[in-house]
Amino acid sequence: MGCVRLSLVLFIAIVISAMTVFGNDARVNKSTSRLFWSTGKEDGDLVRKADSEESVGLSENDELDGGFSSLDGMLQWAIGHSDPAKLKEIAQNVQRLSHDELKKRQIEIQELMEKLKMPSDAELMKIAINDLNNSSTSREDRLRALEELLLLVEPIDNANDFGKLGGLAAVVKQLDHVDPDVRKLAAWVLGKANQNNPTVQQQVVGNRGFLVLELGTLGKLIKMVKSDFAEEAIKALYAVSAIIRNNFSAQETFYAEGGDLMLKDILSNSAVDVRLRRRCVFLVGDLAESQLENKRKATLPFFSDHVFLKAVIDLTSSDDLDLQEKALIAIKSLLQLKSTGASVFKELCGLDEALVNMRRQLQQVMEDESRRDYAEDVEILRQEVELMFDNKLDKGAQVPT
Ligand SMILES: *[C@@H]1O[C@H](CO)[C@@H](O)[C@H](O)[C@H]1NC(C)=O
Ligand SMILES: *[C@@H]1O[C@H](CO)[C@@H](O)[C@H](O)[C@H]1NC(C)=O
Ligand SMILES: *[C@@H]1O[C@H](CO)[C@@H](O)[C@H](O)[C@H]1NC(C)=O
Ligand SMILES: *[C@@H]1O[C@H](CO)[C@@H](O)[C@H](O)[C@H]1NC(C)=O
């Protein structure tokens, strides 16, 4: 049975890759090829997922650094798991097919797949987890297993199954791997599985999954954020953000593991990769937002630390509009925390001056046609922050201290 499925996957993979070579109109795009991995999922689901990633500011589109196409991953998986003689035979058969025949074949395959059922995502996850768990697995196979999981854990149901199959523990173990690419991918998979998924978050930080936290997952990831290898740092921060998002108990662990110091260090260091700084300041806004919602608890001293606040405010003078915008969003949330007085922002951090300078800077950027719209949006946000700050100053003046 397994064998039948395997050669089917292999055949499909080869047909698709042949089509990408031959036809223009038959070009397989990412969402189409993804369908073969995740049978029964609507394209719309995938698109929506991509959108939601954007909306939480964790977009990775700019960071698919030499990533992989799912098609390629599938092909490699199939090749890796099959008999070379069979492989050659199928490849020869496919080469003999004309364009139209190929197209017809593809439709047939789609019908066939529905009937036969491809290996389920759970089965594919089991294979990948098994490979990760096997110390004899080669570097290439290990990377491939992680790349497969990256796709497989994206649908929310799969992510939920992933923990039950022992996947979280297996991937967390990879964070200790000597190879930085393995560590990077492992962090990425963890981030993907946790993103917008309270069930998985609970498996990582909650009681049932306590084992995982005992392994010091968050602490490990926080250390990885300080890696000299920017890609590893970025993916580690992505995982940290996804794990602690909207979850107070996870955030407490984050602070206990020195996550606040890590943020402070990165935000104060202009030599750090701008992508990492963007994500850090985005996380600051997210955490401040959580503090606002979490009225039961006293605000952490971290949010009143003027060295940290100044580091955030200084980002408004960056020449990276995206970073400036994210800094403003964070400042907007920080200003709403009652525990930090307006005078700290004014006297110790120079927020008033920073906002004035920023207006000047944005006006200059607006002269550049290509960046005008974006700069205008950021200016609107800047005005909002300015107004909020003025209100806070007024209120502070009314209350004798
Ligand atoms: C890619 O897939 C989407 C969704 O099915 C479709 O709308 C789009 O036309 C496809 N693009 C190409 C180049 O085939
Ligand atoms: C581990 O991998 C090796 C080499 O690929 C293989 O021979 C062995 O059967 C695997 N062990 C398990 C338990 O899957
Ligand atoms: C991975 O291997 C360990 C032993 O090394 C075992 O306890 C664990 O159950 C394995 N996990 C999976 C998912 O196979
Ligand atoms: C966060 O994780 C804890 C521990 O698993 C869980 O009890 C809680 O419901 C989660 N959600 C929030 C919002 O804290």
Residues 6+ apart with CB under 8 A from 228: none
How many angstroms does the Cα of residue 140 sit away from the middle of ligand 2? 14
pLDDT of amino acid 181: 96
- Tokens standing for 320? 């990276």
User: Which ligand is closest to the CA of 136, given by its number?
Assistant: 2
3 state DSSP class of 82: coil
Which ranges of the chain have pLDDT less than 50? 1-4, 20-70, 208-211, 401
Task: Say yes or no: CB of residue 294 within 6 Å of ligand 4.
Answer: no
User: Which ligand is closest to the CA of 129, given by its number?
Assistant: 3
- Tokens standing for 297? 């608890």
Cα(364)–Cα(358) distance, integer angstroms: 10
pLDDT of amino acid 43: 38
Question: For residue 350, which phi and psi values (nearest 5 degrees)?
Answer: 65, 40
Tell me how far CA of residue 136 lies from CA of 166, 174, 339, in angstroms.
18, 14, 54
Task: Say yes or no: CB of residue 168 within 6 Å of ligand 3.
Answer: no
Beta-carbon count within 10 A of 88 CB? 10
Cα(87)–Cα(92) distance, integer angstroms: 9
Under a CB-based contact definition with an 8 Å cutoff, are residues 324 and 316 in contact?
Answer: yes
Which of these, 48, 203, 37, lies nearest to 122 by C-alpha position? 37
Q: How many CA atoms lie within 13 A of 74 on its CB side?
A: 28
Which of these, 258, 242, 346, lies nearest to 300 by C-alpha position? 258
pLDDT of amino acid 81: 62
Under a CB-based contact definition with an 8 Å cutoff, are residues 382 and 359 in contact?
Answer: yes
3 state DSSP class of 48: helix
pLDDT of amino acid 334: 92
Indicate the helix (H) or strand (E) that contains 389.
helix 372-398
The amino acid at residue 77 is W
pLDDT of amino acid 91: 72
DSSP H stretches of helix in 245-371: 248-256, 259-268, 274-293, 306-314, 321-336, 342-343, 351-366
User: Which ligand is closest to the CA of 31, given by its number?
Assistant: 1
pLDDT of amino acid 88: 74
Task: Say yes or no: CB of residue 134 within 6 Å of ligand 2.
Answer: yes
- Tokens standing for 50? 């991509």
Tell me how far CA of residue 214 lies from CA of 209, 211, 282, in angstroms.
9, 5, 27
Cα(273)–Cα(233) distance, integer angstroms: 9
- Dump pLDDT digits (tens) for 32-83: 333 333 333 333 333 333 333 333 344 443 333 333 344 555 556 666 666 6
pLDDT of amino acid 206: 56
Tell me how far CA of residue 319 lies from CA of 234, 278, 293, 358, 382, in angstroms.
20, 12, 32, 10, 15
C-alpha dihedral sign at 133, 135, 141, 144:
positive
How many angstroms does the Cα of residue 244 sit away from the middle of ligand 4? 10
215-224 b/e (C-beta count within 10 Å ≥ 16 → b): bebbbbbbeb
Task: Say yes or no: CB of residue 170 within 6 Å of ligand 3.
Answer: yes
pLDDT of amino acid 30: 37
3 state DSSP class of 256: helix
Cα(194)–Cα(160) distance, integer angstroms: 9
Nearest-CA residue for atom 10 of ligand 1: 29
pLDDT of amino acid 202: 77
- Dump pLDDT digits (tens) for 338-372: 888 888 888 888 999 999 999 999 999 999 999 99
Residues 6+ apart with CB under 8 A from 204: 168, 190, 194, 212, 213, 217, 243, 250
pLDDT of amino acid 22: 45
Task: Say yes or no: CB of residue 376 within 6 Å of ligand 1.
Answer: no
